[in-house]
Structure 1
Amino acid sequence: MKILDIYINGFGKFHGRNLSFEDGLNIVYGKNEAGKSTIHTFIRGMLFGIEKQRGRASRNDLYSKFEPWENSGTYEGQLRLEHKDHIYRIERTFQKNKKEFKVVDETAGREIEPTKAFLDDLLSGLSETAYNNTVSIGQLKSATDEGMVSELKNYIANLNTTGNIALNITKATSFLKSQHKELESQMVPEAARTYTSLLSEIRNTEKEIASPEYENQIQAYQRMRVEVKDTLEVKQKEKEELIQKVARGKQVLANNQFTDQDSITAYSIKTQGTFDEYTEAKEVCGKKSKKILSVLSLVIATLLLCSAGAVYYLGGDNYVTAVYGIDSLVCIAAAVGAAIIFYLIGLILYLRLRHRQKDMELSAKVLQEIFSRHLGDTAISMDAMRAFQARMAEFTRLSSAIAKSETAIEQKAAEITELQGRQENCGEVIEKQQKTQWELEKKLEHLSACKTQAEGLKHILAENDRIREELSAIDLALETMTTLSSSIRDSFGLYLNKTASDLIAGITGGIYTSLSVDENLNVFLNTKTKLVPLEQVSSGTMDQVYLALRLAAAKLIIGDHGEMPLIFDDSFVLYDDDRLKTALKWLVKACEGQIIIFTCHQREAQMLTANLIPYHLVEI
C-alpha cells in the first residue's frame, strides 16, 4: 500500500489542507506545533477511524483532542492510496452524529463496500493496535535510561512470548489473576440460603394475608355507619317534633287546668253535674205552685192566727163555741196550732225555694265561668252544654294524642338507643378493621420488601452463576495462555530474535552484529568481542534496538500480506549525526516501500541531499 495524498477538511488546526506523498522516502518538515502529529493522527484515523469514548474517558480521547478548532460542523477528510495497481479514495466523516465511511475505487470507477475482508487485505492484516506498535514508529517515550530499558524489555517480552505487541502476557496473566481474586470477593455464598428462607417467608405471608380476617370491609361499615347516622338523625328529629308536639298539647291542657285524661273526665262529669243541678234548680224555682203553696200556707197560718185572736176576743160568744159547744180555749189552741203548722209549712216551702234559688245562682255562676273559659260565652243553655261537651271531647282527643305521642317518643327513644348502639358498633368494627388493614399494610410492605430482596437475590444468584462461569473462563484462559506462551516462545520468539538481529547490524552500521534474549528476558547486544547488556548502551542505541524490533515485528506480522508505509514521528531525536546518517542510508536500502518521516529538524533533508539520496520534501 502506498499513500498518494490526503485532504484535511476539519481536523484539529487544519481546514481545507492538501498534502501529497510519493513512492520511496518522504520528509515532512515542520517546526514544533506546526501540526505534524495532527497529520500523523489524521492518517491513522482515515485508515482505522476514530471513536468517541464515553463518560470521563471522552474528555481526553483522540476524538475530543482533534476536533476542529474552527467550523466544528466539518470534521472529515479524504485519503488516496494505491494498492495492487488500484487507486482507492477513502472518505470519512468523524462527526459522531453523522459518521460516514466510504471507499471509492477510482481505477474501476465504483464504490467499494468496506468489508472486513477488504480492509484486512488493504491494511495487510494489521489491526489498529498492531499498526500503532509496528509500522507507525515513534521514539521511546521514557525520558531516563532506566525507564527506556524497562519499556524496551517489556516490548521484547510481549513479542517473544505472544507473537503480538497487542498482548502483554505477563500483564494479562497478572490481570486475570487479579480479576479472579476480585470476582471471588464479589461472590455472595449466603445468597442461596437467604433466598430459600425468603421464599418460605413470602409463602407464609401470602397465606396469612389471604385469610378472611384481612378482608377489607371498612367501606361497607362506613356506608352502614352513614346510613345509621342518617336514620338516627331522622329519628331524633321525629322524636324532637313529638316532644314539641306533646309539650304544646300539655301546655294547652295546662292552660285549661288539665293534666291528663282523668282530669278532663272528672272536670266534664263535675260540670255536667253542676249543669244538672242548675237545670233542676231552675226547674224547681220556675214552678209557681210551690210559690203559691208557700204563700197560701202563710196566708192560712195568718188567717188561723186571726181566727184564734177573734175567738179569744169573743170568748164564749164565738160561733164555734156557740154552735158546736167547743171550748174557746180549745178553739184558740187548735187555731194557733194549725196556724203554726201552716206557717211552718209555708216557711219550709219558702226556705226550700230560697235554697234552690241560691243553688241555681251558684251553679249558674260556676257554669258561666266554665263556659266563658272554654266557649267564650256566659250563656247557659243546652246548646252551650253540648258545645262544652264537644270542647271536652277535643281535650280528650288531645290527651289521647299526647298519650300516643308519648308512647311514640318512648318507641323512638328505644329505636334511637338501638341505632346509637349500632353506630358505636360500626365505629368499633371500623376501628378494628383499620387496625387490621394497618397490620395488612405492614404485612404487604414486608411482603414487598421480601419480594424486592428476593428479586435482588435472584440477580445476585445469577451474578454468582455468571461469576462462576467467568472464574472457569479465567482458569481456562490462564491455562491456555500458559500453554500457548510456551509454544510461541519456542517458535515466534526465535524468529523475532533472528530478524531483529539481522536488522540491528544494518541500523548500527555493524557496531552490533546481533541481539539475544536469555530465559530471564535480559537483553544483550553482540559485538565481535563480547556481549553488552542493554543497560550499558546509550539512549540512542536503545532507540536503534527499539526501531529494529518494531521493523522485525512488522515483517513477521505482515508476512506475505503486502507492504505498509513506514511512518516515523520524530523517531530520530536521540540520534547523533553519524548514527542518523547510517540509519537513513540503511533505511533506504532495507525498505523498498513508502517511508514517511515527520521531523522538526532540517538535518534529515540536508544529510539526504548531501549523500545524493532521493526524497520528497513536504513542508507544513
Structure 2
Amino acid sequence: MIIKDIQLTNFGKFNHKYISLEPGLNIIYGENEAGKTTLHTFIRGMLFGIEKQRGKASAKDTYSKYQPWDNPSNYQGTMGIESDGVNYRIERNFSKENKSFKVINEDLGIELSQEQIDELFAGLDESCYYNTISISQLGSVTDKELENILKNYAANLGSTKSMEINIKEAFEELNTEKRKIISENKIGEEDEIRRYIRDDEDTLELSEREQHTIIASIEQKKESVARLQEKKKDLSARDAKRLEELARQNERKENLYQEVLSYTTELEKYNSMLEQIKSHKQSLENELKSKGIDNWETMDMLTDKVVNRSNIPIVFIILTMAFIGAAIGFTVGNVDLLYVGEYWMKPAICLGLAGVCLILSVVKFFVNKKKRNKKIESLKELKLVLDKLDAAKHEETYCMHQIDSKKDALEATQELIKAEEEKEVNSEDCSDELKEIEQQERELNEAISKANWILEQKKEKDIEVEARINESNHRLEVIKKAKFEIDAIEEAKTNIEKIATEIRNSFGKKLNEKASFYMSEITNGKYDNLSIDDRLNISINGKKSLIPASKLSKGTVEQIYMALRLAAADIIFEKDKKPILLDDAFVMYDNKRMGNTMKFMAESMEQVIIFSCHTREKVMADKLKIHHNFIKL
C-alpha cells in the first residue's frame, strides 16, 4: 500500500490543504510549528480515527488539539491510497456530531463494505502502526533509557529471542510488577470507591428531583408573568384610551383658556380704546361748547345765517341813493340853479356824499365778503369737529358693543371651561392596578431569577459531583485495568511455559534474522548480526565479541531501533508492504548513517515519507542523487 495524496479539508491549522505523495522517497520539510506533526497525525487519524476523550482529559486530547475553531462540524479530510494496483479514497469526518468513515474504490466507483475494509487493512491496527511503520527518533534520553526502550519494544513484539528461557527470573519480574500494580493503583480501595460513587449518584438523583421541582416552579411563575403581561397589556390599552381622552379634554380646555386669554386681551384693548375715545369726545365737546355749539341744529342755524347773510352794505347804498336823490331833487326842484352858481353847491355836495357812500359801499362789500368767508371757514372747522364728535360717538358705541360682545363670549367660554373641569373622563383609571401588576411582575421575575440562581448553583454542584464520580470511575477503571493487568500477569505466567517452546524457533529467530538484515543494510555492512537474549537484552554480534546496546553510540542504537521496527513490519505484513513514516528519525544520525539509510530505503522500500524540520535530508538526497519528492510546508 502506498499513500498517493492527502487532502486536509479542515484539520488543525490547515484548510483545504492538498499534498501529493509519490512511491519511493518523499521528504516533507517544515520549520517548527509549520504543521509536520499535524500532517502525521492526520495520516494516522485517516487510518484509525481520532476519538474525543471524556472528562478533564478531553480539554487536551488529540481530538481537541486539532479540532478547527471556525467550523468544528467540518472536521474532515480525504486520503488517496493504492493497494495491489487498485486506487482507493478514504473519506473521514472526525466531528463527533457528524462522524463518518468511507473507503471508495475509485477504479470501480463503489463504496467498500466493512468486511472489505477489514480485508483491505488486514493486520494494520493502531498499535501495529505505532510499533512498526511509524518511526520517530528516540529523543534525548540516557544510554540506559535507550536500552530499556529497545528491550520494551522487543518484549511488546513477543520475541523471547533465545534458545533458553529463564522462567524463574521471568516469574520474579512478573510478581514484582504485580505487587507494584497493586501498590500503585490501591486495588484495596475499590469497595470504598464504589460506596462513594453510590453516595454521589444518590446526591445527583436527589439534586435532579429538586431541580425538576425548581424548573416546574419557574415554569409556573413564567406562566403567571405571561398572564400578568397580557393583563397589563389590556390595562395599558384601556389606560392609554383614558389618557387619550384626558389629552383631548386638556386640549379643549387649553383652547378655551386661549380663547379666554384672547377675549381678555381684546376686552383690555377695547376698554383702553373706549377710554381714549371718551377722552377725545370730551375734548371735542368742550371745543364746541366754547364756540357755543352743542348740536347740529345750532350748527345748521349758524351756517344758514352766515351763508344767507348778504355782503351788500345796505346802509351805504341807501345813503348813496339818498344823496343821489337829494342831488337830483335839488337839481330838478330848481332848474334855474343850473345857471345859478350859488345853488350848484348843494347838488354837488349831495353827489359828493353819494360818491363817498358808494365807495364806502364797495369797501364794505369786500370787507363783509371777507368776514363771511372767514366765518364760513370757521364753521367748516366746527363742522369737522362735529363730524369727529359723531365719529367718536360711533366709535364709542362700537367699542361698547364690542366690549359687551367680548364679555358675553368670555362668560360663555368661562362657562365652557367650568363645564369641562366638572366633566369627568368616562374611562376607568387603571394606573393603580397597573402599578400593582408591575409590582407582582417584578416580584415574580425576582423569584424566577433567584430560582435560576439556585438551579445554577445546584448544576455547578452537580458538575462537581459528576467530576467526583468521573474521577472515582476513572480510579475504578484504573483499578479494573490494574486487575486486568494482574490477571494478564497471572495468565502470562501460565502461558509463558506453554508458548516459550513454540516461539523459540519461530518468531524470535525470524525477527533476529530480519533485524540483522536491515541492520546490515543501513550500516552498509558494518553490523550484520543482532542478538537478543532471554532477558531481552539486545546486543551486536561483532567479529570478536558480543557488544551490548548500552555500549553502543546513540546513533547506532537508533539504527537498531529502526532495524527492529522494519523487521517487525516485514514479519507482520509479509508481502503486503506498507509506507514507512519517519518523524525526525535521523536527528541522532551522522551524515554517513543517514545517507546509507536513505539510499537503502529509497531503493528497497515501496514508499518512505520523511517528516523533518531540517534540510539535511534533502541535501543528502541531492548529493547521493536519490530520486525524491520534496514538499515544503
TM-score (norm 2): 0.49
Larger radius of gyration: 1
